[in-house]
Chain A
């Protein structure tokens, strides 16, 4: 269950970013905010090179998936801003994109052959419903990661 603590840590840190992002976009445009978000990622990676010892002997699949992860995450954040700027109501857009874990669950079950207990399956559904309900307040606009 060690994985759970890391998942909760991610949940808490991403939750805090919901507030810091709002504090940012109250003062600057979403694109400038996103730009500095990306620069922070670069600085964090530079710190990782200095502090940690990255492992370089990697397979092609791993490298492609890791790089694709960054691209998909970044593009997702950018397209979420585009959705909000294209006339979509924040309450609808954010609730809709909160459904993304459904796709991950579907893909993981179909392609990685992951199996869920009925309790976990119910938990996944309840989690997604909860995320949608929590996102119905248009006051806090957030981007993943």
Chain B
């Protein structure tokens, strides 16, 4: 499906979705509360079948967080970028590890480094940091006087 066709199809399925212009791939911003339903639908719907989640990124925008999901279909090869805005005080979003198994590790990484909480995740623990680590290293306000991260 071409970029335009994909956009039309998604607009039909999800009237509330907001499209971002000028990006390389079809980029859609959705409400974090609707993420699970959205994910199940794009994974299942005929002609979309986004079966491969290839990148999960959490971004700290200081006032809020954004979760960015890069999806593609091994059948149609179209790409979809989904963004969900999260609250900065309590960043919470539903896990999609039951839809795409790869999300289990990626979400653990986002939790470990950004402090984003994924509800329903089977095993939400620190991944790289030790269990007793304090703070979320990839956040913009993170300071660590002992371990040099900022150069």
Are A and B interaction partners?
Answer: no
Chain B interface (Cβ < 8 Å from any Cβ of A): none
